[in-house]
A and B are shown apart, each in its own frame.
Chain A
Amino acid sequence: MNVLAIDTSNQPMSVSIIKESTLAAELTVNVKRNHSLQLMPAIDHLFNQTGLQPNQLDKIAIAAGPGSYTGLRIGMTTAKTMAWGLNIPIVSLSSLELLASNLLYDSCLVSPFFDARRGNVYTGLYRVHHGDIDQVEPDQNIDMTSWLEYLKSLGEYVKLISSTEHGFQSMVSEKLGDQGILVGHSLQLPRAGLLGSLAINKEDEDVHGLKPNYHRLVEAEAKWMEQQQKDS
């Protein structure tokens, strides 16, 4: 199976091509640049490297969020339109689950997170165990203080992993002490090669209906709903 996998959820951009079910090429760029400029040239580069043509793809995999709204839009639009245009299946994976999967062969709790500004994070809780991953707490948007207190209350060692810049280093050690650690050494970056591999056995999704999981309402919508509740 040949798969094109894309993650542009946050500052790192990662794209890969799985050829005959094996990772053939992967490109991860972690600099502040515009994904809308970079993504198609990167995809083109991968096709050149692997000698594949777009019409030889069997599947497209996309990291569907949460993350930066703009980043998610660029990746999701590209993935959806290409899958629809080639008439091939599309599968999506939570951007947080993808990141937690970096530790797939460990055996522990993993809390992936992205900075969501003003002390908030997008996060969730997963358990990895010798190649399997299970979700313990759903992906959500929450303030980091409450989240760390929750993790502490579990009384279990947890690995935290974040692909975005954040200012939570000292808060993590203060709140969790030796009950947790922040993953580093580039293991905290998303890898589209992993996304593509995980996608092979994932079920197809409806291409028209697929959209990013923002995990946050637009402010105007939230205000409008609040007003509706007040009125009724």
Chain B
Amino acid sequence: MGEIMSSEQNEIILAIETSCDETAAAVVKGGKKLLSNVVATQMDIHKKFGGVVPEVASRHHIEQITMVIEQALDEAGMTINEVDAVAVTEGPGLVGALLVGVNAAKALAYAHHKPVIGVHHIAGHIYANRLEKDFEFPLMSLVVSGGHTELIYMEQHGEYEVIGETRDDAAGEAYDKVAKALGLPYPGGPEIDRLAQIGKDTYQFPRSYLEEGSYDFSFSGLKTAVINKLHHLKQKGAEVDTENIATSFQASVIDVLVDKTYQAAIDYGVKQLIIAGGVSANRTLRDRMSERFKDTNIDLMIPPLYLCTDNAAMIGAAASVEYHKQNFASLNLNANPGLTIE
């Protein structure tokens, strides 16, 4: 019995992620152990366009896909025959980009009679943390990236309840737009974070908390306030203190993220709080969250930097839960750019 249990818990999943501009593949054992994690980033290619161009991203995924999968298996010291299932990001994301991963996963799985597991990208971001430490339920997740700002409550594995989300721009999107207005290079988020360490919160931009008791977010008002301030300064011929603008903008975003997340974690009585997604690489966000949760008995989990940005390891970790539920996709699995998590 014990032996069967342990072999069942140690399934090997080959995971593929191509939802945006990273072509990624990974091998994950039992949902918790990372055997390999390969990410081919297109960052430099999209830099010259000032943002991700979907058609360019899709074309590059096709050129990378088999090499990345091969490398992931090689680094794990495995052949495809030793894999128990192939997992892939089904959505959300760029449709042309998702299509490459989905069709690669189906073709590989079909050729070797393996099941396919379709994974929600955000579930992946949350489960990136399980590669570090096991979950304790109930838990709350703040997912912050270029496309998402969501508070997700979980009572058990594989069950997601979105209790709050952005009503307009995602936090990462606001970072990118403000960075663009400041003339900073793409990607703007890390650059703003860097400048914000130097400046002071002198501009006191608005903090949008929305109506009482809401866990939703809104960042477009803040973005507009920053852009208007820049126009105003320029009109007056006044000097723009880029560092202070960055600090003031970031302070406003992070105040709201920390306050709302803290409130949600308390209200729902969670044992763990997970910060996930690309923006969780932000130093100030990490520091402020640690400070706020320090005196609570809520266990704060923030993934290491390499698991914050898009990768396939997180898709393999999330797929493990579906593997044990035998939640397998059929041959007509498709890319679903607007997939919901609930």
Contact = CB atoms under 8 A, between A and B. Distances in A.
B335 interface: yes
A54 B106 CA distance: 13
Given A80-B65, A220-B53, A36 B100 contact: no
Interface stretch (A137-145, A185-193, A206-214): A206-214
Interface in A44-70: 44, 54-55, 69-70
A218 interface: yes
Interface in B137-153: none
B133 interface: no
B55 A69 contact: yes
B62 A212 contact: yes
Interface in B80-119: 80, 96, 99-100, 102-104, 106-108, 110-112
A218 B106 contact: no
Nearest to B80: A85
Contacts of B335: 36
A73 B69 CA distance: 17
A174 interface: no
Given A218-B55, A220-B49, A224-B49, A40 B66 contact: no
Kindly state the interface size class of chain B when it binds its partner.
20 to 34
Interface residues of A, number: 36
Contacts of B331: 40-41, 44
A5 B112 CA distance: 18
A219 B53 CA distance: 10
A34 interface: yes
Nearest to A75: B103
A165 interface: no
Interface string B48-74: 110001011011001101110110000
A174 to B, nearest CB: 34
A212 B59 CA distance: 9
Contacts of B65: 77, 80-81
B272 interface: no
A contact face: mostly helix, strand, loop, or mixed:
helix
Given A36-B99, A38-B332, A84 B66 contact: yes
A69 B95 CA distance: 12
B334 A218 contact: no
Contact of B69 (A37, A39, A78, A84): A84
Contact of A77 (B49, B53, B100, B111): B100
A86 interface: yes
Contacts of B69: 81, 84
Nearest to A73: B99
B48 A54 contact: no
A128 B112 CA distance: 40
A226 to B, nearest CB: 13
A43 interface: yes
Given A38-B332, A80-B66, A207-B66, A55 B100 contact: no
B59 A211 contact: yes
A207 to B, nearest CB: 6
A40 B106 contact: yes
B329 to A, nearest CB: 10
A36 B335 CA distance: 8
A40 B107 contact: yes
A221 interface: yes
A69 B332 contact: no
A34 B334 contact: yes
Contacts of A218: 53, 55-56, 59
B53 A81 contact: no
Nearest to B63: A211
Interface string B295-331: 0000000000000000000000000000000000001
Interface of A: 34, 36-41, 43-44, 54-55, 69-70, 73-74, 76-82, 84-86, 207-209, 211-212, 214, 218-221, 224
